[in-house]
Structure 1
């Protein structure tokens, strides 16, 4: 890619960027949220047309007007938010649009399944071709997306934040898959914020900052601290600074809580938990052990089967989300696009979603736009949301900046209890540093913080106490300063604790 520039109105998302990728290598694209990484890759895949610049594949200039042209040139893309049809089977998703047909012009499902099995075996990406997408894990869905691209003949594979929704074990499996693909001559472009994964998986790394290429480095010759500094333009503090603090009164109390999932199976079982003012309580556990149902029950999105949820002695069990919010709970949800934002609303509209009825945003049942705009501008500046335009639609922001909008809104609600679920998923190291500081600031203001994360490093560095959840029960609570990854890992797998 030569001198690629992309403008959206006056905003320059990519500014004269050069990128060169060789056959059989993993090339990482590193940059802050909103730096222009996904925009550059969307240009390569034909989703955007560059304002200026040229693209060459195998030395030949190409004009990639749409994804069909990109696929024709051997480019495939696995998006951060998967593009799969959930009620369809794995095989139906993979062959969609290029279905094998019989001599009678009917869908040849038998051949489709055989083709999927063959390509799965060839690349070491086993999935059940007959399984429905809605019934398989997130990591398996990702495999389907990769197979979908390979089935269409991809030689260059773009992976956009591929580890954002994976467990540590699944990340290791994905890195092995990438290595297997490069051994077979595939080239992989990896968009990620995770420096550790760049060190483990990538051969070369191009760093982009605010739309401009900063450098291209050989990964084996540089360390994580240098990569972080190049990405954000300053040294990054990976350690979370916390003052010693004595927890205060109990803010959240959960008694004998049982919650069922959509299948009617109890995924939270007689769970007991307390969170105190002035502490961060982290919940550690492997995904699928009841975390989602627990948080949904607390926030009013799911009915509890039995038990009690109390906020400062006020019973919020099975209350509506509005009643839960008004009791003093703010929530940074796990799925920012599904539960955190209205994507077709502007940034300023999303900033007041929970408070639009209140002064100064509303007067005599009429929205006070000037007050809303001023409030939004203040938060955009304070939380470094990019681009700095409150009129942008939420869907036009990068994933990380969408997350910042939610965090800005929820933190400024001044809650008694702040619930943060996967708050740094998809964020760069600079933004992670900021989010961690925001959570600790709430703790220092004598608020209670409930943190749910699959990142053990995050749980251990931000939390004061850590509760480990396994099969819907809290199997142990430990002091974050005194525990180890091994001890937590054993408890997360159902083992005992001291």
Structure 2
């Protein structure tokens, strides 16, 4: 990776960081040539976020040092990083929603030299930066009224306004449509052409391959490989991340759908503030199929899962399931829906799927703990719970396979396996599954996908919600797209492509204009 003809914008030498018994980073060395886009990849817990937090001053390294433009710098705070020309765009934007773009950009620099001439001078500088780096935006727009792609531009402008020559982006496409992601990468290319160095942290290997010059791979806190992007591929990168060969495709036969297991008509739901979160959503889910729900996060998918599973009561409409008609006046709660053989893997495993203080064998029966399988005449049958948990841990490759370990002490991917195994092993007729591989290591994704397809092939019905379009297209048999709480499109998975789904997700798809039936 070393290129002696190009100076390094940033160089890390023997960076180590420990949190108690956990070695988060160990002797990390990294050289990033100036004016390049450099990808950093690795599984959950590989140490990527810790390393970026050290570069940006959130943490201070235990050992090692950092050089910027060939000069050693001491970074003990974010201000030190900013002073060194380093900016960071976080996965979750740090914006004041009811402020304008201009107000957000200057926030925190009110006493700095850039504002001596007042907001007028700041406006001129911001407009110059926007033009120079192809970040066109209305500086007087209120942030909460901007689509998420433009909000991200505000974050980039904030960093550039503070003089960033090195820009760190953490999972920047997680909330973007494919079209917005493509535009972001055009922006990054423009930044690169203007001499800005970009560090791109993402788990999406296709994006890494399409947008970077060089890639560094982390595994278990160490830097294990550096590659020039043009001399590698997704299969090699996945193997480097995991330490073994990984299959990146989903093997499944065509679906054989049969009876309608679940029907929803005109589902409507208002939140506590009276805002309409679900808007007359109708769908049918059949035995032997996977129905995918695509959409940018926050467009009603979560509310749909909660209403269908009985967690949140509907305001209007009806659900037909297991011979029952469920309405606002005749509701069923989550426990009753489970009794009717509906299982639910929630999107947020920590808030809704687990009690992290419980041991694994206890978490493995949550929601089903009243079952006769786990209860004796007087007390719960802990032996039965333990034995069943051991079998599930082996079948689902939960690591470590210790039923007595506190759930909080498992990695995110293994926590997810515990939740999915608990729901799938109840042999439900309908499985609602939200973000099945969120925060899951790439090596574990293969197993989870196989289990979902296996459940479909056994004649069950699966409703899949995911913000990962690759996952939606790989697993689904039919796909519904949601925008602003409503269904805006439906198509057979065989007819789906990233562009079409992206346009639907932005509510910008016109079948006649595109010449495609959907």
Q: So what's the TM-score if we normalise by structure 1? A: 0.81
Note if contact 1:316-1:324 (Cα within 8 Å) is conserved in structure 2: no
1:240-319 correspondence runs (5 A): 240-243=250-253, 246-247=256-257, 249-259=259-269, 269-284=279-294, 290-300=300-310, 303-318=313-328, 319=331
Note if contact 2:335-2:367 (Cα within 8 Å) is conserved in structure 1: no
Structure 1 residue 36 corresponds to structure 2 residue 47? yes
Comparing 48-57 with 354-363, greater Cα deviation is found at 354-363
SS at match of 1:21: strand
Equivalent in the alignment of 1:495: 511
Structure 2 unmatched runs, 5+: 1-11
In 2, Cα distance between equivalents of 1:324 and 1:53: 55
Per the TM alignment, residue 357 of structure 1 is displaced from its structure 2 partner at its CA by 6.4
CA 1:205/1:106 → structure 2, altered by over 3 Å: closer, same or farther? closer
Equivalent in the alignment of 1:154: 164
Note if contact 2:453-2:475 (Cα within 8 Å) is conserved in structure 1: yes
SS at match of 2:238: helix
Structure 1 residue 71 corresponds to structure 2 residue 82? yes
Equivalent in the alignment of 2:472: 459
Note if contact 2:178-2:502 (Cα within 8 Å) is conserved in structure 1: no
Note if contact 2:100-2:141 (Cα within 8 Å) is conserved in structure 1: yes
Note if contact 1:161-1:426 (Cα within 8 Å) is conserved in structure 2: no
Comparing 257-266 with 428-437, greater Cα deviation is found at 257-266
In 2, Cα distance between equivalents of 1:306 and 1:210: 49
SS at match of 1:35: coil
Equivalent in the alignment of 2:132: 122
Note if contact 1:272-1:474 (Cα within 8 Å) is conserved in structure 2: no
Equivalent in the alignment of 2:367: 355
CA 1:156/1:447 → structure 2, altered by over 3 Å: closer, same or farther? same
Per the TM alignment, residue 338 of structure 1 is displaced from its structure 2 partner at its CA by 6.8
In 2, Cα distance between equivalents of 1:370 and 1:153: 62
2:63 to 32, 48, 52: 52
Per the TM alignment, residue 460 of structure 1 is displaced from its structure 2 partner at its CA by 2.8
Note if contact 1:34-1:401 (Cα within 8 Å) is conserved in structure 2: no
In 2, Cα distance between equivalents of 1:377 and 1:55: 46
Equivalent in the alignment of 1:11: 22
Structure 1 unmatched runs, 5+: none
Per the TM alignment, residue 176 of structure 1 is displaced from its structure 2 partner at its CA by 0.8
In 2, Cα distance between equivalents of 1:79 and 1:401: 25
Render the CA deviation track for 1:217-264: whole Å, top value 9, x for unaligned: 110112222222222222221221225664454332112334457886
Render the CA deviation track for 1:422-450: whole Å, top value 9, x for unaligned: 43456554343233223223324443210
Per the TM alignment, residue 475 of structure 1 is displaced from its structure 2 partner at its CA by 4.5
CA 1:142/1:408 → structure 2, altered by over 3 Å: closer, same or farther? farther
Per the TM alignment, residue 13 of structure 1 is displaced from its structure 2 partner at its CA by 1.9
CA 1:313/1:199 → structure 2, altered by over 3 Å: closer, same or farther? same
2:462 to 449, 456, 477: 449
Cα RMSD over matched residues?
4.2
1:90-489 correspondence runs (5 A): 90-100=101-111, 112-243=122-253, 246-247=256-257, 249-259=259-269, 269-284=279-294, 290-300=300-310, 303-318=313-328, 319=331, 320=333, 323-324=336-337, 327-334=340-347, 351=363, 354-355=366-367, 358=370, 382=396, 384=398, 390-391=405-406, 407=420, 410-411=423-424, 415-425=428-438, 427=440, 429-468=442-481, 472-473=486-487, 475-478=489-492, 480-481=493-494
